[in-house]
């Protein structure tokens, strides 16, 4: 098969690839120099829409509406945009081999792609229950949400199983967002997770209590402290029951699993230095192989603010790390210095009429402030995390744009606090006056 050669190749076609392409266009790229190789059949899009607007019963988000870079208020990059810029979009193409010393990638169909500079933007894959040998986990209508194809299949089944029973396995990001989306579609929803509260990697028990109460008021059944250990299916092979470890059996027409992801680094094993489950990079996302960069979920990078190496799985970092890598690549070419990546961790979510944002680090002591009554018509509450006498993290539900900017500023500046009771009383005012 013919070999294709490019100056720059981005492997992976998710959010990071789209933002990297935009930065290349901004910095100046010649037609034919850049290619994006993606196993998906569509141009890069804003993946968070899949667990939110894509599943709405009315006014649902659809492509081409949420191609990058609309998620951050930027221009929407349609397939034509890449054509105009001379960027080659190589879609429906899965890379199965990477030979970094030879600067070569090989696709499942045997095509070879040569590059001078490679950006690894392969993202994450979902962890499947079948990975743990859960019985019956291959039944029909058990869904995992990662790509637009997954969302399309889920939308069809939501329509087919109108007013049916849905079981969400997992109490993290995907679990909470999909629990809300399926309830909005008038399904009878149960959520199952082993932890003592939802979103335990970020939420305190106090924060989680609000969301669990709110979801319960919306008619969602929450089952904690147990896991799905098996599924039974009907004569059509469609899931009909979920067996739990505690002996309970739940009826189910639809099951959606959100038990985490793992970074897609297999192609590069043994060829680049790894750390903390990802590919180790410097502050410019350069790996241990000088002409190879890694961005987004797969990169373990120096988080300057906390002086430690971290891997961050979030769309905000996917966007910003991609832009930083391209600035660094172009900076070397132009002989310009580029500032080190100085990232403030940021997470957010939206479900029902709720919207929260978190900035910083969730370590140390915590205080909870504001109105966190799930029955409130307009709840607004938050938390601060305090370590070594400084505020290092801040969370806010129901904040305005200005208030969210204020908590971000607090997390970045890390002001000193001595009296936690006074901080609790002051609440959001503390952030707004910084």
pLDDT number for residue 2: 75
Mean pLDDT throughout 258-266?
97
**What is the average pLDDT score of the chain?**
97
- Per-residue model confidence as pLDDT tens digits over 59-77: 999 999 999 999 999 999 9
How does residue 298 score in pLDDT terms, banded at 50, 70 and 90? very high
361-370 tens-digit pLDDT: 999 999 999 9
Q: Which residue is it, tokens 């080190």?
A: 340
pLDDT at residue number 307:
97
The arithmetic mean of pLDDT across residues 114-118, rounded, is: 98
CA 380 to chain centre: 24
371 CB burial (10 A radius; 0-12, 13-18, 19+): middle
Render pLDDT for 162-172 as a digit per residue (tens, 0 to 9): 999 999 999 99
Q: Is the dihedral of CA 366, 369, 373, 379 positive or negative?
A: negative
pLDDT value of residue 67: 98
- At residue 214, does pLDDT exceed 90? yes
Residue 1: pLDDT band with limits 50, 70, 90 = low
Distance CA 166, CA 57 (A): 16
Of the options 2.20.25.90, 3.50.50.60, 1.20.1250.20, 3.20.20.80, the CATH number for the domain spanning 3-125+262-334:
3.50.50.60
Residue 195 near residue 212 (C-beta atoms within 8 A):
no
For domain 129-259, the question of CATH label 3.40.470.10 is answered with: no
**Is the per-residue pLDDT at 208 higher than 80?**
yes
Q: Measured between alpha carbons, how far is 208 from 195 in angstroms, rounded to an integer?
A: 11
Residue 327 Cα distances to 19, 30, 272, 304, 330, angstroms: 12, 16, 22, 18, 5
Tens digit of each residue's pLDDT (9 = 90 or more) over 171-200: 999 999 999 999 999 999 999 999 999 999
In this prediction, residues 81-88 reach a mean pLDDT of 98
Tokens of 359: 């900035």
Query: What's the whole-model pTM score?
Result: 0.97
Place domain 353-433 in its CATH homologous superfamily. FAD/NAD-linked reductase, C-terminal dimerisation domain (3.30.390.30)
Report percent pLDDT > 70 for the chain: 100
Does pLDDT of 209 surpass 90? yes
Above 70 in pLDDT, residue 303?
yes
Mean pLDDT of 215-240: 98
* Distance (Å, whole) CA 27 – CA 20: 10
Q: Is the pLDDT of residue 241 over 90?
A: yes
The torsion angle over the Cα atoms of residues 13, 16, 17 and 21, rounded to 10 degrees, is 160
The pLDDT value recorded for residue 415 is: 98
Q: Do domains 3-125+262-334 and 129-259 have the same CATH topology?
A: yes
Six-digit token string for 65: 């509406």
Residue extents of the structural domains in the chain: 3-125+262-334, 129-259, 353-433
């Amino acid at each position: 098969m013919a070999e294709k050669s490019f100056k720059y190749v981005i492997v992976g076609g998710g959010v990071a690839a789209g933002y990297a392409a935009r930065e290349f266009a901004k910095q100046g790229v010649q037609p034919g120099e850049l290619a994006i190789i993606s196993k998906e059949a569509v141009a890069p899009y804003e993946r968070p829409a899949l667990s939110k607007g894509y599943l709405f019963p009315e006014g649902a988000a659809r492509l081409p509406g949420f191609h990058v870079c609309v998620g951050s208020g930027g221009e929407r990059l349609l397939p034509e945009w890449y054509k105009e810029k001379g960027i080659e979009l190589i879609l429906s193409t899965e890379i199965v081999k990477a030979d970094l010393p030879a600067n070569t990638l090989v696709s499942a169909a045997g095509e070879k792609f040569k590059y001078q500079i490679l950006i690894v933007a392969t993202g994450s894959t979902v962890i499947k229950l079948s990975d743990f040998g859960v019985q019956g986990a291959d039944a029909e209508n058990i869904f995992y949400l990662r790509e637009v194809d997954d969302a399309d299949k889920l939308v069809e089944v939501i329509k087919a199983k109108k007013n049916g029973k849905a079981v969400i396995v997992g109490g993290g990001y995907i679990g909470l967002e999909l629990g809300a989306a399926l309830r909005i579609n008038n399904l009878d929803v149960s959520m199952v997770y082993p932890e003592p509260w939802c979103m335990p990697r970020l939420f305190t028990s106090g924060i989680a209590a609000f969301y669990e109460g709110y979801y319960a008021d919306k008619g969602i059944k929450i089952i904690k402290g147990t896991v799905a250990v098996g599924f039974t299916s009907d004569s059509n092979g469609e899931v009909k029951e979920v067996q739990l470890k505690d002996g309970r059996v739940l009826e189910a027409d639809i099951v959606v699993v959100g038990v985490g992801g793992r970074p897609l680094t297999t192609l590069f094993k043994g060829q680049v230095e790894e750390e903390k489950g990802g590919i180790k990079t410097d502050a410019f996302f350069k790996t241990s192989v000088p002409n190879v960069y890694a961005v987004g979920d797969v990169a373990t990078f120096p988080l300057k603010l906390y002086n430690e190496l971290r891997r961050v799985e979030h769309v905000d970092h996917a966007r910003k790390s991609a832009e930083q890598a391209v600035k660094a690549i172009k900076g070397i070419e132009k002989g310009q210095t580029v500032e080190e990546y100085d990232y403030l961790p940021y997470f957010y979510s939206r479900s029902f009429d709720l919207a929260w944002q978190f900035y910083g680090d969730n370590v140390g002591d915590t205080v909870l402030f504001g109105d966190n009554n799930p029955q409130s018509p307009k709840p607004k509450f938050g938390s601060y995390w305090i370590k070594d006498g400084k505020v290092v993290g801040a969370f806010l539900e129901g904040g305005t744009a200005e208030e969210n900017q204020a908590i971000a500023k607090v997390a970045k500046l890390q002001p000193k606090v001595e009296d936690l009771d006074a901080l609790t009383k002051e609440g959001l005012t503390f952030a707004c006056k910084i």
